[in-house]
Amino acid sequence: MKLLQTNLQEVETAAELDKMIKENDNVMVCCGRMGPMCIPVYDIMEELEDERSKVKFAVMAFDSPEAGIIRDAKECRSFMGLPFTMYYKNGVVTAATSSIQNRSQVMSIIDEKLCN
């Protein structure tokens, strides 16, 4: 069941995320809630969907048990702020951020770590 009201693809299961990472070279997944720190990041991703066509953008609901794949990832061990955002390059995590990020922070990770 979809839990996030965004125009981005919502990944509902860990298996779905795994498949997405395998099938796409560059993936950005934002794992959050419909809260004030998360919505601005979804907003930026919606806009970047048109501008960065080599990147697959998706969201995942933080409270879904399936989101343990991100919540419990070693890259997120010290994270204490929503959303947890993961960037995957060729199937591996290349960057991860905690809490709200602005457009230039997201763009610089995408350009340096994914579309380099």
Partner 1 sequence: MDDIFDVMIIGAGAAGLTAGIYSSRARHSTLILNEGAIGGQMVLTDEIANYPGVENTQGYSLANTMKKQAKEFGCKIKSNIQIKEYQLEGKVKKVSLHDGREFSAKTVILAPGGKPRSLDIPGEDQFKGKGISYCATCDGDFFTGKEIAVIGGGNSALEEAVSLTKYAEKVTIIHQFDHFQAFEHAIREAKNHPRIKFIMESELRAFEGDTGLQKIQVEHLPSGNISEINVEGAFVFIGYMPNTKAFKDLVTLNSRDEIIVDEDKNTSTRGVFAAGDCIPKKYRQVTTAVADGTIAALSASAYLRDL
Residue 5 or 116 with smaller CB distance to partner 1: 5
**Is residue 24 helix, strand or coil?**
coil
Of the candidates 83, 86, 106, 101, the one whose C-alpha atom is nearest the C-alpha of residue 35 is: 83
79 binds partner 1 (CB under 8 A): yes
Among 33, 73, 75, 115, binds partner 1 (CB under 8 A): 33
71 binds partner 1 (CB under 8 A): no
Q: Where are the alpha helices (DSSP H) in the chain?
A: 14-23, 39-51, 68-71, 103-109
Residue 18 or 63 with smaller CB distance to partner 1: 63
Among 24, 26, 64, 97, binds partner 1 (CB under 8 A): 97
**Is residue 58 helix, strand or coil?**
strand
Distance, in Å, from the CA atom of 94 to the CA atom of 111, rounded to the nearest integer, reads 12
Residues that bind partner 1 (CB under 8 A): 33-40, 43-44, 47, 77-82, 97-100, 102-104
